[in-house]
Amino acid sequence: MSQTPDSNQPVVDEPFVDELFVYEIRIAGHLPARWSAWFEGLAVAPEPDGTTRLSGPVVDQAALYGLLKRVRDTGLTLIAVNQIPSKQEQA
């Protein structure tokens, strides 16, 4: 949120509606690939360090919170959540 120079009214910076954000969610333990459907189609990749990486596009913050709620509701241990920079941001 930012302030306009001509007023004290805050201006809400609206994200692009068509823009998807890619997230990586790490959880403790290994999950089989069939869990992908439960996590809205995110890729499920077991890592050598004993964690599982869930990754893929997430449409908005509400969808991200929904995914995190599923992690909580299944009793999985959340290790990290990271937004992966888009190719435009990396350029």
Tally the domains of the chain. Answer: 1
Which one-letter amino acid corresponds to residue 30? H
Residue 56 lies in a domain: yes
Are the CB atoms for 74 and 57 separated by under 8 Å? no
Average pLDDT over residues 7-36: 76
Average pLDDT over residues 13-19: 53
Residue 63 lies in a domain: yes
In terms of DSSP bridges, do strands 2-3 and 10-11 run parallel, antiparallel, or are they unpaired? antiparallel
- CATH number of the domain residue 43 falls in: 3.30.70.100
Residue 2 lies in a domain: no
Residue 23 lies in a domain: yes
1 pLDDT band, cuts 50/70/90, is very low
Q: Does the pLDDT value for residue 67 go beyond 70? A: yes
Domain interval for residue 86: 19-90
pTM: 0.74
Residue 1 lies in a domain: no
pLDDT in the model for residue 20: 79
